[in-house]
Amino acid sequence: MTHHSQDMQACIDACLACYRTCLSTAMHHCLEAGGDHTEPAHFRLMAACAEMCRASAHIMLTGSDAHRHSCTACAAICSACADDCERVGGMAECVRACRECAEHCRRMGAMQ
């Protein structure tokens, strides 16, 4: 039983995958590596991105068309997080998850 279009289902999947990757990477890789990885601005952006992805998935799951706003915000935050993870380096998985989520959310936010 599914209550969402195929595109939305894929966007929810991408958001939850990015949430898991950002949170888990921050709490394991970043805390263990220290240095640039626990630099406040970087670590905070990882935490903000994890939360926005989680909320974006949640709002799509509610079925409300308010998701356009949250998807647009999620695309912007994921894109910023991907850039910052590239700058720090050694975070290829996070970069990939953020780019993929940003692309799904960008399209979902632009739909009417």
| Cα atoms in the Cβ-side hemisphere of radius 13 Å centred on 99 | 11
Q: Does 4 bind its own copies (CB under 8 A)?
A: yes
Q: Which of 6, 7, 11, 12: binder of its own copies (CB under 8 A)?
A: 12
Check if the beta carbon of residue 18 is closer than 8 Å to that of residue 100: yes
Local structure of 112: helix, strand or coil: coil
Q: Does 10 bind its own copies (CB under 8 A)?
A: no
Local structure of 89: helix, strand or coil: coil
Check if the beta carbon of residue 77 is closer than 8 Å to that of residue 40: no
Check if the beta carbon of residue 108 is closer than 8 Å to that of residue 74: no
Q: Which of 38, 87, 89, 111: binder of its own copies (CB under 8 A)?
A: 38
Q: At its nearest, how many Å lie between its own copies and the CB of residue 10?
A: 14
User: Can you give the C-alpha Rg of the chain in angstroms?
Assistant: 14
Q: Which of 77, 85, 101, 108: binder of its own copies (CB under 8 A)?
A: 77
What residues line the site for its own copies (CB under 8 A)?
1, 3-4, 12, 16, 20, 23-25, 27-29, 31-32, 34, 38, 40-41, 43-45, 47-49, 51-52, 54-55, 58-59, 61-64, 66-67, 69-70, 72-73, 76-77, 80-81, 93
